[in-house]
Structure 1
């Protein structure tokens, strides 16, 4: 599966799971390594870096920004292999 297909399906699933949320796609050419998606929901936010598989190569700075943004709120690498686990953790974070 292409990362773009996975990302498009994920955005639809996020909008179903969190009605009224805003999902934005971030521009990695503006900040190199910034996670692909930002999700705004009620008074919380999260970011997700989409990968087509658990083995997909990480780009420079991605680990840094996912770690930094996870300290601020919630951020994860997400791929088909860990999608259910990450979405469960995100749901817990948004409900806390």
Structure 2
């Protein structure tokens, strides 16, 4: 009977030690996973900041593009106007030269 009690105590001790070791292993794994999650959260925050910066930059570039389009349109109108004035001046000069030749 005493031997049976010693064997049961030994088995109980082994079970307790194995459970302790499993718990320590799980705690270590949880700790590592927690650190990994924190590192991933930091990366996500940096990516959010980069995304916001990119969106802001894109908005500024779009605004600048629109201004350049407006300036280009204005310059094209001025260029057309100058070409017309130049054509009219050439016609006037030609008509003047034709009158002088007569």
Q: Shared fold (TM-score greater than 0.5)?
A: no
- Structure exhibiting the larger radius of gyration computed from Cα positions: 2
Q: Which has the higher helix share?
A: 2
Bigger relative contact order, structure 1 or 2 (CA pairs below 8 A, ≥6 apart): 1
Q: Which has the higher strand share?
A: 1
Q: What is the TM-score when the length of structure 2 is the normalising length?
A: 0.17
